[in-house]
Structure 1
């Protein structure tokens, strides 16, 4: 009987300790997302998504969309953090996150966070051009070898 009570208490203490550890990791991850600019990027993505749906559903009144945006913005980032938490925990320690936060709080870190969306957008355009060039080379090579008709 004493052993089973001790086992239950040990399991409870371990679970509570893990839960507290998880909560501190989660708040550190949330802070890192804020200072890195990721939170703003995700909110922008939500706005763009809603804007696209709004265009497709033009018969829906603006009041609905205003209310919906307010509602979704209350906990969208929190829900995203819950979803990505295990991914970050798998690859980065909480100490790693704190170091990232320290970086993003420096002048160069702030500049990097500010410029990342622009760099990403422009890099995606460059990547698309690169992909188009490779596809063109493949097509030309296939034609040259007779696998595709001219």
Structure 2
């Protein structure tokens, strides 16, 4: 019985250590995928935009303080975000999937896609909003036609 408990404890410890290693490897791979896909750049842009808003809201804070904060948060917050997102990605994408995405984003087409993705998304969102408004208007018109 004592041997069984020792074996079980050893197995659980080893499993936990190897699982933690896999998570670290996965997170590192996810970070690389974010970098080559342009996702990290998009997050960096979002952070910069947040600081623009903070600066406008607190104009009495010295520029050097904002520069210090922006530098600190630009580096650490992306790493923390990747760690937070890793479990979500891990539910749907294997490490091999991420590695294959990295390979794609290192191709000519992948680089072009990554470079233009933020503009594609921005323009697509605008079109999507117009489309949604048009559908909403059509539904309202049809409801009015039916007297509802």
Task: Please state which band the TM-score falls in when normalised by the shorter chain.
Answer: over 0.9
CA–CA distance in structure 2, aligned partners of residues 126 and 39 of structure 1: 25
Partner SS, residue 58 of structure 1? coil
5+ residue gaps, structure 1: none
- Describe how 1:71-86 pairs up with structure 2 within 5 A: 71-86=72-87
- Describe how 1:29-40 pairs up with structure 2 within 5 A: 29-40=30-41
CA–CA distance in structure 2, aligned partners of residues 144 and 107 of structure 1: 52
Counterpart position of 2:69: 68
1:96-138: CA deviation from partner (whole Å, max 9, x where unpaired): 1110000000000000000100100000110111111112112
Counterpart position of 2:138: 137
- Shift of residue 17, structure 1, vs aligned partner: 0.9
CA–CA distance in structure 2, aligned partners of residues 137 and 59 of structure 1: 49
TM-score normalised by L of structure 1 = 0.92
Counterpart position of 2:3: 2
5+ residue gaps, structure 2: none
CA–CA distance in structure 1, aligned partners of residues 44 and 65 of structure 2: 19
Counterpart position of 1:48: 49
TM-score normalised by L of structure 2 = 0.93
Counterpart position of 1:106: 107
CA–CA distance in structure 2, aligned partners of residues 56 and 140 of structure 1: 42
CA–CA distance in structure 1, aligned partners of residues 50 and 145 of structure 2: 43
1:15-55: CA deviation from partner (whole Å, max 9, x where unpaired): 11111111111111111111000000011011112212222
CA–CA distance in structure 1, aligned partners of residues 74 and 99 of structure 2: 26
